[in-house]
Amino acid sequence: DTGVSQDPRHKITKRGQNVTFRCDPISEHNRLYWYRQTLGQGPEFLTYFQNEAQLEKSRLLSDRFSAERPKGSFSTLEIQRTEQGDSAMYLCASSVGRGAGNTIYFGEGSWLTVV
């Protein structure tokens, strides 16, 4: 069990550029989540998948954000036309099974700085 893996760990990009983050969940975890964390705040839910189906999206996820999990394994989060307000840590997490009491395992996050 290697844990949730995220890549890249750090990304600096210019305003207006597109960025993509990748997440590899724990093997056989069917649920995958994306959260965003800004300085001084707790993580905020963005979206989650059960296998390849995207089941819920937060209103925080504007049209510039898109997430996919094409084969029910890894996931990508793409941000188009980045803005300075997108600077944050993007956390991926995974869990197995169904139920609100399941333990959700987090990766180490991908830091995005938009300059």
Residue number, 44 or 83, with CB nearest to another protein: 44
Shortest spacing between CB 81 and another protein, in angstroms: 26
**Beta strand residue intervals within 25-96, DSSP E:** 31-37, 44-50, 53-57, 65-68, 75-79, 88-95
Shortest spacing between CB 69 and another protein, in angstroms: 15
Residue number, 30 or 80, with CB nearest to another protein: 30
C-alpha pair distances (Å), 9 with each of 50, 54, 62, 74, 105 = 24, 24, 23, 16, 17
Closest CA to 5 of 110, 115, 81: 110
Residue number, 14 or 39, with CB nearest to another protein: 39
Shortest spacing between CB 107 and another protein, in angstroms: 5
Strands 88-95 and 105-106: antiparallel
Which residues make up the interface to another protein (CB under 8 A)?
A: 4, 31, 33, 35, 40-45, 48, 56, 58, 91, 93, 95, 98-109
- Angle (CA) 41 43 45, round 5°: 135
Shortest spacing between CB 98 and another protein, in angstroms: 8
Residue number, 42 or 85, with CB nearest to another protein: 42
